[in-house]
Amino acid sequence: MATATLDQAVQQQFGNVAANYASSSVHALGEDLARMVELARLTGSEHVLDAGCGAGHTALAFAPHAAGVVAYDLTPAMLEQVERLAAERGIRNVETRQGSVESLPFVDGAFDLVVSRYSAHHWAAPAAALREFRRVLKPGGSFILSDIVAPSAPLLDTWLQAIELLRDPSHVRDHSREQWCDMFDDARFDPQVAHGWMLPLDFDAWVQRIGTPPQFVDALHALYDAAPVEVREFFAIGADYSFSIPGALMVGKRK
């Protein structure tokens, strides 16, 4: 069987379905996206980095409020979606760059703000990424993160990690709020949990968006069917396999 590095797996996984993320309402909409822009309090003169930008919904949300936004992602096909959406909307202050969040091709202090949304659970070394974000931020700059977070209870944590990996083999980990706060602090950011919510997901759209193979969809159904009451109640699992997962919006001020 052919093997690949995690970066190669991510590029293959998302390269095949990039257009699905451009049209995904989960990624294009959401209260957390509006809150990210609100929390940034941009004046129009700032330079922003969207790390792990995917199809570019976050970068495009920030662009009208900034001098310029760099949409940065590992997968070239995703960056093509960013450029297409920007052109369709007449947004001209977004540029795309390809690469890993763990090694940024930018000089120290290049940005006033770094943001990332629904990407960090794919990072192999989030602590290294945070150190890079701090390096490229100007003094007083901030990092705003929005992502799925793991519950603190081991049972719920294990179940969440299991369904994420079955759905998408390039998944690394949903970290808890506490783990993120520790990583922020270690990277010399002042951490603050600004917002939390439960994200409702339609099961069929969730697996179709990433292209989960049928045998893994069957395994997911079996896992949902076997879930104990505590899991079913926390994740609000429905008869149609719809469910909700926890998210958190965090802000880290550069120390």
pLDDT tens, position by position, 26-49? 887 788 999 999 999 999 999 999
pLDDT of 28 reads: 74
For the chain, the structural domain boundaries read 6-150+171-200+244-254
Confidence of residue 2 (pLDDT cuts 50, 70, 90): low
Please give the pLDDT value at position 11: 84
Q: In which band, very low, low, confident or very high, does the pLDDT at 25 lie, cut at 50, 70 and 90?
A: confident
Q: How far apart are CA 104 and CA 102, in angstroms?
A: 6
30-62 in b/e burial notation, b at 16+ Cβ within 10 A? bebbebbbebbebeeebbbbbbbbbbbbbbbbb
User: Are the CB atoms for 254 and 139 separated by under 8 Å?
Assistant: yes
Give the pLDDT confidence of 152-189 residue by residue, as tens digits. 999 999 999 999 999 999 999 999 999 999 999 999 99
CATH of domain 6-150+171-200+244-254: 3.40.50.150
pTM for this entry: 0.94
- Tens-place pLDDT, residues 89-99: 999 999 999 99
Q: From CA 22, how far away is CA 119, in angstroms rounded?
A: 14
